[in-house]
Amino acid sequence: MLRHRAAAFAVVALVAACSGPAQTAEGGAAAGGGDSTLPDPDATAAPADPDATAGPPAEPTATPTPTPAATPDVDPADVGANELGEIPVLMYHRLLPDGGGEYDRSPEGFRAELEYLCAEGYRPIRTVDLVRGEIDVPAGTTPVVLTFDDSTREQLAFTADGDVDPDTAIGILRDVAAGCDGFEARASLYVNAYPFGGGQDSDELVTWLHDHGFELGNHTAGHVNLRNLPASEVQRELAAGVEVITDVVVDAEVVTLSLPFGIWPEDRGLAASGAHEGRTYDHEGILLVGAGPASSPFHAEFEPLAIPRIRSGAWDGGEPDFSSGFWFDVFERNPHRLYVSDGNPATISFPEELADELAPGFEERANPYAAESR
């Protein structure tokens, strides 16, 4: 895929010059993680995820058309644009020297994965950008969503001088982004009560993330198994999860949720919206735990209230484990599956033979092109 992407970048440069559920580390069921069947590399959909298809139905909604980025006019056929393709949503937890458990990474492994993403033409966006279809990445590149659960100290901390600790996840992300063209330090962090260790600088860390364009998302206040709670307690936990953020950053927009343990409440509709003692929450997007890539927000199969994620991890090439290493191998062999940007966030470009896959409501933005011109 590197050669494929390099060719796409060369074209852009030329144009510019001219113009059974697996168990989570925390004991929960990973949706779809128990599928041991190698997915069909020619398929366009992720492996079946029982939780992903059972979420509340989501109708495509009209969103404000973002202002087009200052990019050259690129023929979508020249870069193989397919904005109906799949988007990896990667899931991270702790960074530990020894790599920790199945859902953790070592700092070196995390850095290596970011460097791989850079080299292979992936560019970070946030969950809210995916949900709202506000995807602004360079032509010929693929969006990737970086999500972090549990707001641990390894994800973000300050040094004694008040700078971002370079050995934390956000510190490593910023360092890689600084050396990678078009690769911005963007991510979505899902916080619980007492975020990032709950120290004296906890509020300052949350504020820093908001001020630097990171998304702050709901992960409940107490990181609870919502299925074990009555409806009133589900709503209390989710409303309190929003307040963990808005008590610190009053104007923060908390519109996406990462389900603790990947487990739904008994009434799944309560994960999307509800209220407790006058405190409300309204989630536009809900993240699951596994086990494959997400559909494009413009694809008819996209379900914003049941977005699958891919566990970050190395793959040894043996039995499929549906980690990021496994999926990167699938995508290298099948680049046609990926979302590839046309560089213009106001249009949705794709080969015309995929027109039937476009979700209703996006016809005015659609920019299909003839397959023979690819």
- List, in sequence order, every beta strand (DSSP E) within the chain: 22-23, 29-30, 89-92, 122-125, 142-149, 188-191, 215-218, 256-258, 273-276, 279-282, 285-287, 310-311, 348-351, 366-369
d(CA 192, CA 59): 29
Find, among 106, 93, 87, the residue nearest to 28 by Cα.
Answer: 93
**Residue 58 confidence class, pLDDT cut points 50, 70, 90:** very low
User: Does residue 17 have a pLDDT over 80?
Assistant: no
Which of the pair, 126 or 66, is modelled with greater confidence? 126
Tell me what pLDDT residue 69 has: 40
Secondary structure of residue 356 in the 3-state scheme = helix
What mean pLDDT, rounded, does the chain reach? 86
Task: Assess contact for 145 and 130: CB atoms under 8 A.
Answer: yes
**% of the chain surpassing 90 pLDDT:** 79
Tell me what pLDDT residue 372 has: 60
Q: Where are the domains of the chain?
A: 85-332
Largest CA distance in the chain: 62
Residues 6+ away with beta carbon under 8 Å from 281: 218, 235, 238, 239, 241, 242, 254, 273, 274, 275
Which fold is adopted by the domain 85-332? TIM Barrel (3.20.20)
User: Does residue 16 have a pLDDT over 50?
Assistant: no
Which of the pair, 97 or 60, is modelled with greater confidence? 97
Q: What is the pLDDT of residues 334-363, one digit of tens each?
A: 999 999 999 999 999 999 999 999 999 999
Tell me what pLDDT residue 36 has: 32
Find, among 228, 238, 308, the residue nearest to 273 by Cα.
Answer: 238
Which of the pair, 30 or 360, is modelled with greater confidence? 360
